[in-house]
Structure 1
Amino acid sequence: MWQRASTAPFDRDLELAVIDADGEHALVFPCRHILNGWMNAMTRERLDVQPTHWRPWDERHQPLG
């Protein structure tokens, strides 16, 4: 179940939903909530995203869209 981005925890891999020019979709890689933002949990690269929702990352499920 999707949760509001403002409630995202800092201690686990998450799937993020974002809205961009193409509409709403889920990112296809796990993310981590860090101080002042987000990072790709696989590459540890900082992300320039403004997520709307999150849910626990589960490698068995397919992302939206």
Structure 2
Amino acid sequence: RREEQNERMKEQRNKGTKEQRNKGTKEQRNKGTKEQRNKGTKEQKNKRTKEQKNKRTKEQRNKRTKE
């Protein structure tokens, strides 16, 4: 049973020619350059400072203990 399934999967994988499968070239796939991906600078990503992140959790922790 498993062999049949593997055979079918293999056929499907090989259905499109190598050229068709590689239609999206490396260049196209990498169109969004590293710079674009990193557009949001480190500073922007870290806008919520450690203190801000911890403020809410601290309040939540206290709320739980009071109840």
TM-score category of the 2 structures, normalised to the smaller one = under 0.3
- Structure 1 length normalisation: TM-score? 0.14
Q: Point out the structure with the larger helix share.
A: 2
Q: Which has the higher strand share?
A: 1
Larger radius of gyration: 2
Larger relative contact order (C-alpha < 8 A, sep ≥ 6)?
Answer: 1
**TM-score normalised over the length of structure 2:** 0.13
